[in-house]
Structure 1
C-alpha cells in the first residue's frame, strides 16, 4: 500500500479532490470465452458514504440457478479487496436465482451495508484516473462450480484531463507566436529568435505527447488522460458547431456519419480491454466494432470519443481548426504590421522606432508566416491526414486529406531545398554555407524559421527533424491495428533521433541543447513505456501500475520545467532586453574598423581569429595583425575567409526581418571593401 500513498502525490499536484467520493464503471466485459452472459449495456455508481450503489444492466444469460459472486478489486495491479457476495443479498429478482432469459434493469439501487468493503483504501477515491479493475467470478451456489467471469474498469471521477489546463497552454502558445512577430517587427533579432525557439520547443513536446496518445496501444487510465490534455495541439477540440459542420459536410459528400456518442445509453463503450486472469485475455477488436452491444474504440478513435467527437468527424475537425488558426494568425500579422508604425508615430517611444520602416516587403512576411504555419501544422496532418486514407469517411474528405498532406510536404520540401541551394552557393562564393543564409534578407524572412534556431554550421538539422516527424506520423496513421509493431518502430525512431541530437547538438547555445536533448530523452523513455504497455513482456500488472504513475510524473515534471523555461523569455519581451549578449555590436563608421589592442570584444573578433589569406598579406596571431600600410597596392586583397569561423555570425536574427535590421546586418557581416581598409 506504500505505492498507493506515493501515487497520491499526483492527486495533490495534478487535479482537485472530488467533492463526492465515488467509484463508477460504465463497461462490463467477459473475461472468459464461454458466452454464458452477454452484455449490451452496463453502468454502476458506488458511493461509500452510504454504502449504496445504483446499477443499470441490459443483457442476457444462458444459465439458470442460484449463484455466488466472488469479487476481486485490483488497484494498479494490486489485489486490494476480495469478497464473496450472495446474489440474493442484492435484492434483484433477475439475479435470485439467475434465469435463462433476457436481463434488463434500469437504475436499480443496491444496499451494500451488509457487504464488508473496508479493504478499499481511502487513496483510491483521490488518485486521479484511478487504474482499478473489478473481476467477478460467478459460481453455482450449490456446487461451487465456476460458471463464468466478468470484469469492469473502475474510475473515481477525478482526472488530470482538465479543460482549463489545455486552454491555458493554448493561450500561452498563441502569445508566444504573437510575441515573436511583434519583437521581430521592433527589430530585436536576438529576443525574437529565443522566443521562437522556446515556443516551438514547448509546442513540439506537447504535440509529441498528443501523438503518443493516438497510438493503438491499450493505454492505462492515467496515461490516457495525460496525453488527452494535449490533443488540442493536433487540432482536436470538442466544439459543438464544428461537429455540426463536419457532419453536414460528410453527408453532403456521400459519407455516413457514425453515431457512437448518440448511442452510449444503449451500448457499452470500451476504451481498453485487459484481464488480470492469466491465460484468459479477451479477444481485442482491431477497429471500432459493435459486437453484442459493446463498442470498442482505440487509438485515434479513442481520443476523439473522449473529446465528444464522432470517429467520422475527427479528420475534418482537425482540418478546419488548422485553417482557423492560420487565418487568425495571418490577420494578426497584417494588423501589427500596418498599425504598429502608426502607433509609433503618435507615441514617439524609442522602443517603437523599429516599426517606422517601410512595409513594401509585407508579401515576404506573409509568405514566411505561411511556411511557418505549415511547419507547425505538419505533425497533425501527417497523423490525421494519412489516417483518413484508411478510415475513408467520404470521398471528398479523402481528397482533402491527400491534397493537404501533399501540399504541406511539398511546401516544406521546397523551403528546405531553397535553403540548401543558398547554402551551396554561399559555400562556393564565401567558403562557408552560413554566410548567405544569414545575410540574405529574402532567404531569412521566408525560410529562416527552418534554421535560425540552430548553429550556423548545423543548419542542415532541419532534415532529420522533418524525417522524424514524417516517420512518426506514418507509423501512427497506418498501424492503428498493429499496436506492437507501432510501439517497436516508434522506439527505433525515438532512439535514432536521440542519438542524432546528442551527437550533433545543433541548437543555438548550451541551454537550448540541454532542453532539446532532455525532450528527446523523455520521448525515448515514453516509447519504452508504451512498448511495455503492449504486454509483450508479460509483466506483472503491478509493474504496469508503477510504470503508469512514473510516466505521468516524469512527463509532468519536465512539462513544468519547459513551462518555466518558456515563461522566462517573456521577461525579455516586456523589457526588450537582449538575452546573454556575447559581444558588443560594431558601429557603422570608419573608426570602428581600426584594430586596436585595447578595444572591446566586437562581432568581428571571432572572425579575426580564424581569418586567413593565402598570399600572406593578412595574418592572424591572437590579436596582432600585420598593418595594412605595409602591403603593396598591387597585391590582391582577398575578402573571403578560407576557414569556417566559430560563431562569427550569431544565429539570432529576425524571424520577420525589418529594413533597418537587414541593412545593419549587411553592413556588419559584409567584408569591408578595399577603399575602406586604407584609413
Structure 2
C-alpha cells in the first residue's frame, strides 16, 4: 500500500509536535531544595529560584531553618544527565545574602523574592544546550563548607529545569482526537456491514491506544523517574482518565466532602511549601502517606507515583480516583449516545453511501441489541486498565468510605462482565469444536457471537482465540502491581520485569494475532515493554551505578518509545486509505494458516439457523451430500466421494444424525466448513 500525502503530513506533524518549542526567554529554575545528607542541619519549607542569563540575575525565595552557626561558603557542582559539567565556589557575603553571612543557629531563614546580581560570576560554565534541551535532567548540588576549618557542614541539592518540555497539551489532544475518529469509524463500518474493514480499523485503533495506555502506566509507577521520562509518560495520562478539567475536580471534591472525606490542599497552597516530584534517596518519607498529613505543619511535600502524576495535571491527590471514574462514565455515555444517533442516521444514508453489496448491515431490533451489548463489552475492555490501576489504588489511598465502595463495586462488576464474556466465548468454541471439529466456525461465522463478544477475540487467529485470557491476566496483574506497589518501588520494578518477560515469551512463541503484520507489531510492543522494565529497574538505583548511566537510559527510553509511537501512528493512518475508498484490505486473514474468512456467512444466514437443518438431514436417496464445494443428490455421487463418512451425533429428536463434512481449504492448517448453497429449491436455507 502506498503512503498518501496525508499520511506523511500527519506523521510529520506528530514528529514536529514532539520537538521542543522555542522559548521566548532563556532561563533555569528550581522549585525544591532537597537535603542530600542526614545531618538535619538545614530544614526547608519552601524554595524557589529563577535564573535569567540575559541580565545575569536570579530571583530567590527561601523559607527554612538552620541548626549551625559560623562563616560558610558554598561549593556548587552542576550535574547534567549524571555528568559533572561544572563546579564553582560562591561567597554568600560577596552576594549580599545576609541570611547566610554568617549562618546563625536556630534562626529562621526566610528570603522572599530577593534578587541576586551575578555580574561578577562567570556564567560561561553553563552550556548553551542547558537552555534548550527539553526536560533538562540537571542537578545543582550545594556543599556548604565552613570557611575557617574547611570542613563540610551539610549538603543540599536542587533539580533544575529550563521550562522546555515534551509534555505538550497539543500532542495529547491530537492523539485523543485520532483515537476518537478511529473508534467512530469502526462503529460506522460495522453498522454499514463492512465487518472486515471495521475489524482492521478497530485493531489498529486499539493497538495504538493500548500502547499509549502502557506508556501512561509506566508513568504511574512509584519508581524514581528522570525528568524526560516523567514528561513523556505524562502526555498519555488522559488514556487513564486523568484530565485536569475544573468541572471534574469540583464534582470530585464535593463528593468526597459529602461522604466524609477530607480533600487535600496541595495545589491551593503552593506558595507556602514546595512539592518534590521525585523520591529522595537519603531522606525517608512514606510514599503512601496522605498528602494532608504531609502538609499539616507546612514544609516540603514529596509526591511520587500516582500522586505525582495527579499533581502535574493539577489534580489533587484526593481527587485522582474520582476524576478517572467520572471520565470513564462520561466517555461511555457519549459513546453510546453516538451509537444511538448513528442508528437513526445511517439507515437512510447506506443506500447512497455503499457502492458494493455489504457483508451484513445492522438493521432490525435484535441486531441492534447485540450491537449495543458488544460495544458495552468493548468499553469495559478499554477501561479495565485504568480501573485496575486507579480503582485498586483507591483501596490503599482511602479518600472516603463511599469512594472505596465505588472502587470495589466497579472493579468487581467489570471483572465479572469480562469473565462472563470470555466464558461464553469458550462455550461457543467448545460447541463449534464438537459439531465442526474446529472453533472457527461458530466464533467467526455466527453474527450474534461475533457482534456480542467478537471484540475479545476477533484480533486473534481462530485456534488462538483463547489468548484473550492471558491478555486479561496480564492487564490485571500489571494494574494490581501499580496499585499495591506504590510503597515499594523496587518490588514493583521486579514484578513488572517478570510480567513483561512472561508476556514477551508468550507473544513471540504463540504469535496469536490475525496477520503477520499484527504479530510483528505485537511482538515489538512486548519487546519494548521488556526493555522499559529493565530501564525502570535501573532507575531504582538498586545497582548503585553512576548517575550518568541513568541519564543515558533516560534518553534511550524516550527515543525508543517515541519512534515506535510514530511507527504505530503511520500504521494506524494507513488503514484510512481503505476507509476513504471503501476498499477491503487486500489481505483478509489469509496470511496466517487459519482461514477464517471461509466461515463467514453472508447476509442474514446464521449458524443458529443452519444447525436445526443439519441435525435433521438424513443420508438417503434424494437428499444432498457434499462433494468439494458443490452440492449434489446422493444418487449422483461418484466413487471418489465414498471416503467421506459423516460423523454421527445426537440430534434434537434423540436419533443419530450425521454432521456435514468439513472441506479442507487450500493454504489453511485446518478443515473449515464452506459457505453453503441450496441443493434443491425445496431445501432452501433461510
TM-score range, shorter chain: 0.7 to 0.9
Deviations 1:194-237 (A, max 9, x none): 10100001111110111110011011000011000000000000
2:465 aligned partner: 459
| Distance (whole Å) between structure 1 residues aligned to residue 354 and residue 662 of structure 2 | 44
Report the alpha carbon displacement of residue 185 of structure 1 after superposing the two structures with TM: 1.4
Aligned with 2:77: secondary structure?
strand
Asked if residue 245 in structure 1 is aligned to residue 245 in structure 2, the reply is no
| Distance (whole Å) between structure 1 residues aligned to residue 373 and residue 502 of structure 2 | 33
| Distance (whole Å) between structure 1 residues aligned to residue 515 and residue 404 of structure 2 | 43
Asked if residue 293 in structure 1 is aligned to residue 299 in structure 2, the reply is yes
| Distance (whole Å) between structure 1 residues aligned to residue 18 and residue 258 of structure 2 | 47
Deviations 1:460-489 (A, max 9, x none): 110110000000011110010000010001
What pairs with 1:448-487 in structure 2 (closer than 5 Å)?
448-487=454-493
Report the alpha carbon displacement of residue 669 of structure 1 after superposing the two structures with TM: 3.9
Aligned with 2:116: secondary structure?
strand
CA 1:215–1:643 in structure 2 vs 1: closer, same or farther (change >3 Å)? farther
Asked if residue 227 in structure 1 is aligned to residue 221 in structure 2, the reply is no
Aligned with 1:536: secondary structure?
coil
| Distance (whole Å) between structure 1 residues aligned to residue 465 and residue 365 of structure 2 | 28
2:613 aligned partner: none
2:649 aligned partner: none
Asked if residue 48 in structure 1 is aligned to residue 53 in structure 2, the reply is yes
Report the alpha carbon displacement of residue 356 of structure 1 after superposing the two structures with TM: 8.2
Deviations 1:268-320 (A, max 9, x none): 11111447xxxxx3334333434871100001000101000001000000000
Report the alpha carbon displacement of residue 19 of structure 1 after superposing the two structures with TM: 1.8
Asked if residue 496 in structure 1 is aligned to residue 497 in structure 2, the reply is no
| Distance (whole Å) between structure 2 residues aligned to residue 77 and residue 426 of structure 1 | 60
Report the alpha carbon displacement of residue 120 of structure 1 after superposing the two structures with TM: 1.1
CA 1:85–1:642 in structure 2 vs 1: closer, same or farther (change >3 Å)? same
CA 1:399–1:356 in structure 2 vs 1: closer, same or farther (change >3 Å)? closer
Conserved 8 A contact 2:136-2:227: yes
Structure 1 unaligned spans of 5+: 1-9, 276-280, 590-616, 621-625, 651-665
Aligned residue among 14, 18, 39 for 2:19: 14
Report the alpha carbon displacement of residue 99 of structure 1 after superposing the two structures with TM: 2.0
Aligned with 1:502: secondary structure?
helix
Aligned with 1:64: secondary structure?
coil
CA 1:144–1:627 in structure 2 vs 1: closer, same or farther (change >3 Å)? farther
CA 1:191–1:114 in structure 2 vs 1: closer, same or farther (change >3 Å)? same
| Distance (whole Å) between structure 2 residues aligned to residue 50 and residue 632 of structure 1 | 96
CA 1:212–1:585 in structure 2 vs 1: closer, same or farther (change >3 Å)? closer
Moved more, 516-525 or 142-151: 142-151
What pairs with 1:497-536 in structure 2 (closer than 5 Å)?
497-536=503-542
Asked if residue 166 in structure 1 is aligned to residue 166 in structure 2, the reply is no
| Distance (whole Å) between structure 1 residues aligned to residue 669 and residue 51 of structure 2 | 66
| Distance (whole Å) between structure 2 residues aligned to residue 490 and residue 42 of structure 1 | 35
Deviations 1:535-556 (A, max 9, x none): 1111110011000000000000
| Distance (whole Å) between structure 1 residues aligned to residue 506 and residue 600 of structure 2 | 39
1:630 aligned partner: 638
CA 1:209–1:267 in structure 2 vs 1: closer, same or farther (change >3 Å)? same
2:93 aligned partner: 88
Conserved 8 A contact 1:41-1:294: yes
Asked if residue 59 in structure 1 is aligned to residue 60 in structure 2, the reply is no
| Distance (whole Å) between structure 2 residues aligned to residue 148 and residue 312 of structure 1 | 35
1:661 aligned partner: none
What pairs with 1:67-86 in structure 2 (closer than 5 Å)?
67-86=72-91
Conserved 8 A contact 1:55-1:106: yes
Aligned with 1:367: secondary structure?
helix
| Distance (whole Å) between structure 1 residues aligned to residue 556 and residue 640 of structure 2 | 72
1:128 aligned partner: 134
Report the alpha carbon displacement of residue 64 of structure 1 after superposing the two structures with TM: 2.2
Conserved 8 A contact 1:337-1:359: no
Structure 2 unaligned spans of 5+: 1-14, 591-596, 603-624, 629-633, 647-658
| Distance (whole Å) between structure 1 residues aligned to residue 599 and residue 457 of structure 2 | 25
Report the alpha carbon displacement of residue 51 of structure 1 after superposing the two structures with TM: 1.1
2:312 aligned partner: 306
Aligned residue among 453, 459, 483 for 1:447: 453
What pairs with 1:308-327 in structure 2 (closer than 5 Å)?
308-327=314-333
CA 1:180–1:38 in structure 2 vs 1: closer, same or farther (change >3 Å)? same
CA 1:420–1:20 in structure 2 vs 1: closer, same or farther (change >3 Å)? same
Aligned with 1:89: secondary structure?
coil
Conserved 8 A contact 1:186-1:351: no
1:653 aligned partner: none
| Distance (whole Å) between structure 2 residues aligned to residue 677 and residue 179 of structure 1 | 42
Aligned residue among 402, 408, 414 for 1:396: 402
Size of the alignment, in residue pairs? 617
CA 1:96–1:669 in structure 2 vs 1: closer, same or farther (change >3 Å)? same
Report the alpha carbon displacement of residue 14 of structure 1 after superposing the two structures with TM: 2.9
Report the alpha carbon displacement of residue 350 of structure 1 after superposing the two structures with TM: 3.1
Report the alpha carbon displacement of residue 12 of structure 1 after superposing the two structures with TM: 9.5
Aligned with 1:219: secondary structure?
coil
| Distance (whole Å) between structure 2 residues aligned to residue 78 and residue 587 of structure 1 | 61
Asked if residue 282 in structure 1 is aligned to residue 288 in structure 2, the reply is no
Conserved 8 A contact 2:644-2:661: no
Conserved 8 A contact 2:440-2:599: no
Q: Output the aligned Cα RMSD.
A: 3.0
CA 1:627–1:145 in structure 2 vs 1: closer, same or farther (change >3 Å)? farther
What pairs with 1:554-569 in structure 2 (closer than 5 Å)?
554-569=560-575
CA 1:282–1:444 in structure 2 vs 1: closer, same or farther (change >3 Å)? same
Report the alpha carbon displacement of residue 115 of structure 1 after superposing the two structures with TM: 1.2
| Distance (whole Å) between structure 2 residues aligned to residue 632 and residue 78 of structure 1 | 80
CA 1:11–1:192 in structure 2 vs 1: closer, same or farther (change >3 Å)? closer
Asked if residue 329 in structure 1 is aligned to residue 318 in structure 2, the reply is no
Conserved 8 A contact 2:392-2:484: yes
More relative contact order in 1 or in 2 (CA 8 Å, sep 6+)? Answer: 1
1:662 aligned partner: none
Aligned with 1:87: secondary structure?
coil
| Distance (whole Å) between structure 2 residues aligned to residue 385 and residue 17 of structure 1 | 39
Aligned with 1:53: secondary structure?
strand
Aligned residue among 372, 396, 409 for 2:378: 372
1:612 aligned partner: none
CA 1:499–1:635 in structure 2 vs 1: closer, same or farther (change >3 Å)? closer
1:414 aligned partner: 420
